[in-house]
Amino acid sequence: MKRLILVILAPLILWAQKPYRGAEYRTLETFTYGRFEVRMKSAPVSGMLSSFFTYHEINSIDEWNEIDIEILGRYNDQIQFNTITAGVTNHVYYQDVPFNPHQDFHLYAIEWTPNYVAWYVDSVEVFRQTGDHISTLFRAQKLMMNIWPPASESWAGTLNENQLPAYAYYDLVRVYRYTPGENQDFTLLWQDDFNAFNTSRWQKATHSWDGNNSQFIEENAVLKDGYLILCLTMPTSTGYQGGAIHDEDVTAPYIARAWFLDDRIVLNFSESIKRQAAETASNYIIPGLTVKNARLLNDERTVVLEVSERDPQVIYHVIATNISDRSAAANRIKVESIAIKNGVTLPLVINLGSEQGSATYQADYVFNVDRPYGHEGGSKVIHPLSANFRGAQNDTLYRSELRGLNFYRVRLPDGSYRLTFFFAESEFNAAGQRRFDVFAEDQKIIEGLDIYERVGSFAAYVVTIDNVEVKDQQLDLYFKPLAGKATCSALKIEKSASDLHEKTNEPRIPRQSALRVFPNPANPRLQLEFELPRSGETELSFYDVSGKRVLVLKRGTLNGGIYRSSLDVSGWGSGLYVCVLKQEQRMVARQKFIVLK
């Protein structure tokens, strides 16, 4: 009985020993992978922190899985990111920010996938972790927010209790499900604007731990006027006593990222900016270059600069002045300078899986915030110099591959591009062992590819997809495995020779649908021309003689007119194929053609 009494009294003793009262708000549901966003303003008191994080409730430290955004009150220009894995192994990164996070609200986000964890500030990715430890972050985690004073003064600073109470404010939370290849890989599950305490979604914590000098209590998690307020208080004065909540934009916009993308410079600002100032070329100074034109994109926070020819060996800086945000205060940049990162130059050929570049192709990388391109997922497979691939014009491109890759990402200016994929089957000696789809910008462009079925093993198979539209300064390719693992040996990117979204100079609108493919037989390229009498959802499909769909080109809504493009069929097997034109899901034209080797 004495032992039972001690067990019952232990939490009460712990409660009494904690000098402060904090708060934690946590979901009832757990999540495995996803995107988690919060708009928040942190508390400005040294010796404590405000947080937004995911956490797996553990039975032992060997199960530890946690992903953090922690904002220490002692710093007015820094945020801490961290992943914690088995054995309480920390992977900490300190991110400097050009604003005071305690002064006004900012949007923060965590992206968690099997291949990486990334952190965003004001909708711009600022840091990414990859590496072996990411694969150990697979346990279901709850989403949490809390405010508490760490016992470690060397980390959090010294808490002056005369500065209490302290408050962290949360305006909204969004949770997205991880949906690779759809909705830019993340689909919104729900958003909470904190208009009321949703007891089917959230709970208020009542616990503590060693190293936390506060006890969490329900009274210190307050919902008021559409905000969640987490309070750090003395035990004798709990709850929110702060009066009206001030949600005003007092931070001037800043350039979050600057890239040379082909022959242009793309500037990503932290928030929406006013068009007139943004499109005034004289507001941008780049020593060594002339700014010819400035254009603000429809998102109202991305500016594209046209400049004079640059020296690729020089590191340039852009200086922005007189740029104002769209808030009532019209906060204005005074003078800001940022280095411009070198992006890609087209045409671009990437030898996937290879760390060595050459005069004709580029080495491959793992994608991160500092890379203009790279892969997510996959293992490098290197073949000996003696390996030969039937039909290959350059065996070197096929002597390395990325096997099991999930995504490939390339930063590009908005526009239309031609993509050429170089495939070879080097692992299997039978059909059906490896089959996968390829998506570009959430659109399926290659369906059910079985390389062995097409050309056998150790043979080159090339697929070219024209007129792929990029609308967010980044090409996103998703390789979806259907059997085995997806693989790719090389990727070529060039500007489209023609654009299916632009009508040709033909002055007339056709009276009826028509489709022409030539030459027939075709090799290595097939020319396409089709006519549409009206606008509508349009699709071009290709089928082999067995009726299996080989390729789908989904182009969205097209206006009535005449369109032309071309397709590389040099990697297709010899035989009879059918090109089908559909509009509004109804076949309007078809034509047979032959591919000859």
**Catalytic-labelled residue, pool 24, 37, 70, 531:** 70
Reduce the DSSP state of residue 219 to 3 states and report it: helix
Tell me the C-alpha distance between 509 and 522, whole Å: 28
CA dihedral sign of residues 113, 119, 125, 126: negative
Identify residue 222 by its one-letter amino acid code. Answer: V
584 part of the active site: no
Q: What are the two backbone dihedrals, phi and then psi, of residue 451, each rounded to the nearest 5 degrees?
A: -65, -45
Identify residue 392 by its one-letter amino acid code. Answer: A
Q: Are strands 373-376 and 407-411 parallel, antiparallel or unpaired?
A: antiparallel
Tell me the C-alpha distance between 437 and 379, whole Å: 18
CB atoms within 10 A of CB 394: 15
Class of residue 7 by CB neighbours under 10 A (exposed 0-12, middle 13-18, buried 19+): exposed
Q: What is the full DSSP assignment across 300-369? A: SSEEEEEE----TTSPPEEEEES-BBSSTT--B--EEEEEPEE---SSEEEETT-S---SS-B---B--T
Convert 482-550 into a string of H (helix), E (strand) and C (coil): EECCCEECEEEEEECCCCCCCCCCCCCCCCCCEEEEECCCECCEEEEEEEECCCEEEEEEEEECCCCEE
DSSP state of 389: -
57 part of the active site: no
The answer to whether the peptide bond before residue 519 is cis (omega within 30 degrees of 0) is yes
CB atoms within 10 A of CB 470: 20
Query: Cα-Cα-Cα-Cα dihedral of 226, 230, 235, 241, to 10°?
Result: -40
Measure Cα distances from 233 to 166, 209, 241, 593 in Å.
7, 17, 10, 77
The pair of three-digit structure tokens given for residue 405, joined into one six-digit string: 């890759």
186 contacts 179 by C-beta, under 8 angstroms: yes
Measured distance between the N- and C-terminal CA atoms of the chain, rounded to whole angstroms: 88
The pair of three-digit structure tokens given for residue 187, joined into one six-digit string: 């689909």
**Catalytic-labelled residue, pool 29, 57, 63, 66:** 66
Which residues, other chains included, contact 178 with Cβ-Cβ below 8 Å and sequence gap of 6+?
Answer: 33, 34, 35, 112, 113, 185, 186
Determine the length of the chain. 597
Which residues, other chains included, contact 464 with Cβ-Cβ below 8 Å and sequence gap of 6+?
Answer: 418, 419, 420, 421, 567, 568
Q: State the greatest distance between any 2 C-alpha atoms of the chain, in Å, as a whole number.
A: 96
173 contacts 143 by C-beta, under 8 angstroms: yes
Catalytic residue set: 66, 70
